[in-house]
Amino acid sequence: MNFIDSLGDGWTIYLWLVAGGLIIIASIYGIRWASKNQQFDEDIKYLVFTESDKDKMTPEDYKKSREVLAKQEQEREVFLKAAAEHRNKTA
């Protein structure tokens, strides 16, 4: 406790500055990770619809939902293929 008392006035601001800087760096890293991993995809809302929702949607929205679903399925296939290749390479 004597060490903290010997620091004098105003040392806590530097502690807060370091903590704030670390939070900003972590936030930037998280946003960068999210953008590289397609976490900001606005079309994700169309994936909740199924074939039975066709009568509740406009034809444009239904068409868009089917296109988004097909695109997601293709990306899933590519991801699973890459994961299988990675597994085979490490095994």
Write down the pLDDT at residue 43.
84
pLDDT, residue 1, reads 62
56 to each of 5, 18, 44, 64, 65, how far by Cα in Å?
A: 69, 53, 18, 14, 12
Q: What does the pLDDT profile of the chain (91 residues) look like in tens digits?
A: 677 777 778 888 999 999 999 999 999 999 999 999 888 888 888 888 888 888 998 999 999 999 999 998 998 999 999 999 999 988 7
Task: Give the model's pLDDT for residue 37.
Answer: 85
- pLDDT for 90 equals 85
